[in-house]
């Protein structure tokens, strides 16, 4: 099994499903599709190319954030470790499935608008002389772990 890091831009085609492993770890997975579209230079027509289907699995901090933020039909960008799972189905036929173990997942802002509501207070940078309008929010690991159902809303562009 070969593994490579890659990014995939596409659409969530199944609602994310959360489950627990025998060791108690939570994992969330969903299927996504990435379509290639090309414009024929001679005719100006857009044509659909092939579609890449893959299963995206999320672990640890991503489980809560993705579970609270994404659903079927959402445009996303997923980044992670790509691998092929080979298996034999119930009928005895050898199959292969493409899986991404995601390290980052987010909305595709070229195809939607997203509002982010932060509950953490804004830190005042010493270089701004205490002007709260000139500060940037401090984003740490704890911010990425806490995402509630009402934190993100996606509106199609």
pLDDT 10s per residue in the chain (157 long)? Answer: 556 899 999 999 999 999 999 999 999 999 999 988 888 888 888 888 889 999 999 999 899 999 999 999 999 999 999 998 898 999 999 999 899 999 999 999 999 998 886 756 555 555 555 555 544 444 444 443 333 434 444 445 4
Q: Specify whether the backbone of 130 is left (phi greater than 0), alpha (psi in -120 to 50) or beta.
A: left
In a domain, 153, yes or no: no
The rounded distance, in Å, linking the Cα atoms of 145 and 154 is 19
Identify which of 12, 111, 119 has the alpha carbon closest to the alpha carbon of residue 69: 12
Provide the token pair at 15: 């609602």
Report the pLDDT value the prediction gives residue 121, as an integer from 0 to 100: 58
Identify which of 5, 145, 139 has the alpha carbon closest to the alpha carbon of residue 62: 145
DSSP 24: S
Whether the CB-CB separation of 114 and 153 falls below 8 Å is answered with yes
In a domain, 29, yes or no: yes
Number of domains in the chain: 1
In a domain, 70, yes or no: yes
**pTM score, whole prediction:** 0.68
State the CATH number of the domain containing residue 35: 2.40.50.140
The domain of 49 spans: 4-110
In a domain, 139, yes or no: no
Report the pLDDT value the prediction gives residue 116, as an integer from 0 to 100: 81
In a domain, 122, yes or no: no
Task: Detail the DSSP E strand segments found in 40-134.
Answer: 46-59, 75-88, 94-107, 112-116
In a domain, 23, yes or no: yes
In a domain, 143, yes or no: no
Query: Burial level of 63, CB count in 10 A (0-12/13-18/19+)?
Result: buried
In a domain, 101, yes or no: yes
Identify which of 27, 91, 82, 93 has the alpha carbon closest to the alpha carbon of residue 52: 82
Report the pLDDT value the prediction gives residue 20, as an integer from 0 to 100: 93
């Amino acid at each position: 099994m070969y593994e490579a890091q890659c990014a995939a831009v596409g659409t969530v085609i199944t609602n994310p499903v959360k489950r627990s492993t025998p060791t108690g770890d939570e994992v969330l997975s969903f299927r996504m599709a990435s379509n290639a579209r090309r414009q024929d230079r001679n005719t100006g027509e857009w044509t659909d190319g092939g579609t890449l289907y893959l299963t995206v699995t999320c672990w640890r901090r991503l489980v809560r954030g993705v579970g609270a933020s994404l659903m079927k039909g959402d445009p996303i960008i997923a980044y992670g470790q790509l691998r092929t799972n080979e298996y034999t189905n119930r009928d005895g036929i050898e199959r292969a499935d493409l899986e991404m173990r995601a390290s980052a997942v987010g909305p595709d802002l070229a195809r939607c608008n997203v509002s982010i509501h932060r509950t953490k207070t804004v830190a005042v940078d010493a270089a701004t002389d205490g002007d709260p309008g000139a500060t940037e929010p401090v984003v740490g690991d704890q911010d990425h772990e806490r995402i509630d159902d009402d934190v993100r809303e996606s509106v199609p562009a």
